[in-house]
Amino acid sequence: MAKMWDGRFDKEIDAKVNEFNASISFDKRLYEEDITGSIAHATMLADCKIISKADEKLIIEGLKGILSDLKSGKLAFDMTAEDIHMFVEAELTKRIGEAGKRLHTARSRNDQVALDMRLYAVKENGEVTADLAKLVNTLSELAKANTTTLMPGYTHLQQAQPVSLAQHLLAYCAMLMRDIDRLSDCKKRTLSLPLGACALAGTTFPIDREQVKGLLGFNTVGFNSMDSVADRDFVIEMLADLALVMTHLSRLAEELIIWTTAEFKFAELDDSFATGSSIMPQKKNPDVAELVRGKTGRVYGNLMAMLTVMKGLPLAYNKDMQEDKELLFDAVDTVKICLEVFDGMLKTVKFLPDNMAKDAEKGFINATDCADYLTKKGMPFRTAYKIVGNIVKHCIANGKVLSTLSLDEYKSYSELFCEDIFEAVDLNVCLQKRTSQGGPSAQSVSEQLKLVKAKLEKLND
């Protein structure tokens, strides 16, 4: 395919340089965004009397035909084209003749590709958000079914205090809802129109950027033409948001991996979301969770690569920015498949409440409640803390737990202990007394579930 910039050059571009420079192999996925932007541009050019209404009609009909043929598979991409922009323009000119050559008036590939990437980012932002909402809903349904399921809560991966499985799962709802909020904020900044900035210095044609903004549903017009073509903050911001999504998925993946071990046995993965071993017939491996954990590093790498690409670039556009596409495409694809398989895995996982409760009994996770018991009877907390520490030491030495000590043993440490200590250290009582806002009791979890439901309903409005 002839180059659109052939006029300046006497020599053919070297074949290897052509291959190295071309982006059609990956930016072809932007064809719909490219055509959508071109239709809006042509509409504005005609309304501003920069091209004729007749040419506008030919251009728009031609572009719609190309879009339809690409979607149906009737038209194949020309892999000798330099990029998606040149492919669409060349195909348009081939179909409608001279009018096709007028489409690029008052436009550069610099502002065109910036527009395409913003349109793509907004579209994928919405799809990732929908996938996140689906996963939040799955987690909240699991939480709803486990509001009284007792399990040990951990700090430092050491048993700490009693919580419910619902509380634990809702913690991930909180993380993923923050991800949804971040993507929403990112979308606002992404919807800043670059088209009309041209190469870097705008144009002498009397264009109407506000009209294009409205046609494409953008919030603002980029106020500085140099920044408009040189800005890839929106790509970096979305990559950062996607990296945080993967952080949260990876943390839950790690817990599922731990919980499904024979040592924990808090949960069991469905056969459809696990794999076996080629040599050990007894194995049931959490490969899905492990792959999510592993692919997190991949998304982090895309973020770091994009930050590195942009860190030393002078204004305005530089070819380095071509690297943004594969990095964002890969991150989006990775996050979407991870969210999809994670949702399926969680919908089929089997939790084992009896094992959770038995494990909770062993870890002295009611020790704080024992100290609180003394504090509520007038003892300073630090004094109570030390006394309960000594009681725990006694239990460990004698193979006991707080619920199996006798009242006489308790009284040997403090006369403040009475018969009601046994209710105070009952794990289910300890759990349900934690009614503070955001806590693990059924009452507190119910309020958290309401917040999640409200959030999801707002997204669907």
Assign residue 455 the CATH number of its domain. Answer: 1.10.40.30
Whether residues 245 and 293 fall in one domain? yes
**In a domain? residue 1:** no
Return the minimum-mean-pLDDT range out of 3-17, 113-127, 138-152.
3-17
pLDDT digits 0-9 by tens, 127-147: 999 999 999 999 999 999 999
Whether residues 200 and 319 fall in one domain? yes
Average pLDDT over residues 448-458: 97
Q: What is residue 19's predicted lDDT score, i.e. its pLDDT?
A: 80
Helix (H) or strand (E) holding 150: strand 150-155
Chain mean pLDDT for the chain:
95
CATH number for the domain harbouring residue 20: 1.10.275.10
Whether residues 328 and 389 fall in one domain? no
pLDDT at 292 over 80: yes
**In a domain? residue 110:** no
pLDDT at 305 over 80: yes
Q: Of 191, 197, 218, which Cα lies nearest the Cα of 40?
A: 218
In single-letter form, the type of residue at position 116 comes to D
Whether residues 189 and 323 fall in one domain? yes
Q: What is residue 7's predicted lDDT score, i.e. its pLDDT?
A: 57
Q: Which of 328, 352, 376 is the last residue of a domain?
A: 352
In this prediction, what percent of the chain has a pLDDT beyond 70? 98
pLDDT confidence tier of residue 8, bands split at 50, 70 and 90: low
Q: How far apart are CA 19 and CA 13, in angstroms?
A: 10
pTM: 0.93
Q: Which of 352, 367, 387 is the last residue of a domain?
A: 352
**In a domain? residue 112:** no
Whether residues 347 and 370 fall in one domain? no
Supply the range of the domain harboring residue 366. 359-460
**In a domain? residue 339:** yes
Whether residues 285 and 345 fall in one domain? yes
Helix (H) or strand (E) holding 22: none
CATH number for the domain harbouring residue 288: 1.20.200.10
**In a domain? residue 23:** yes
Angle 308-314-317 from CA coordinates, rounded to 5°: 90
Active site positions, annotated: 156, 277
Whether residues 56 and 81 fall in one domain? yes
85 close to 113: Cβ distance less than 8 angstroms? yes
Q: What is residue 461's predicted lDDT score, i.e. its pLDDT?
A: 82
Whether residues 210 and 316 fall in one domain? yes
Q: What is residue 70's predicted lDDT score, i.e. its pLDDT?
A: 98
Q: Of 218, 215, 246, which Cα lies nearest the Cα of 121?
A: 218
Average pLDDT over residues 180-190: 98
Q: Of 312, 314, 309, which Cα lies nearest the Cα of 326?
A: 309
Q: How far apart are CA 332 and CA 256, in angstroms?
A: 24
235 close to 121: Cβ distance less than 8 angstroms? yes
Q: How far apart are CA 272 and CA 219, in angstroms?
A: 44
Q: Which of 105, 131, 165 is the last residue of a domain?
A: 105
Q: How far apart are CA 297 and CA 242, in angstroms?
A: 12
Residue 309's beta-bridge partner residues?
none
Q: What is residue 377's predicted lDDT score, i.e. its pLDDT?
A: 96
**In a domain? residue 81:** yes
Whether residues 139 and 279 fall in one domain? yes
**In a domain? residue 176:** yes
Cα 173 to Cα 20, 178, 292, 332, distances in angstroms? 44, 9, 17, 20
pLDDT confidence tier of residue 1, bands split at 50, 70 and 90: low
Average pLDDT over residues 389-393: 97
Q: What is residue 354's predicted lDDT score, i.e. its pLDDT?
A: 97
CA 231, chain centre distance (Å): 22
pLDDT digits 0-9 by tens, 315-351: 999 999 999 999 999 999 999 999 999 999 999 999 9
pLDDT confidence tier of residue 446, bands split at 50, 70 and 90: very high
Other C-beta atoms lying within 10 Å of the C-beta of residue 208: 16
pLDDT digits 0-9 by tens, 235-265: 999 999 999 999 999 999 999 999 999 999 9
**In a domain? residue 111:** no
In single-letter form, the type of residue at position 31 comes to Y
Q: What is residue 347's predicted lDDT score, i.e. its pLDDT?
A: 97
pLDDT at 5 over 90: no
In this prediction, what percent of the chain has a pLDDT beyond 90? 93
Tally of structural domains, the chain: 3
Q: What is residue 4's predicted lDDT score, i.e. its pLDDT?
A: 58
Whether residues 301 and 364 fall in one domain? no
Whether residues 126 and 100 fall in one domain? no
DSSP state of 285: B
Whether residues 163 and 262 fall in one domain? yes
Place of tokens 């309960």: 388
Q: How far apart are CA 284 and CA 112, in angstroms?
A: 50
Q: What is residue 79's predicted lDDT score, i.e. its pLDDT?
A: 94
Please tell me whether residue 366 adopts helix, strand or coil conformation.
coil
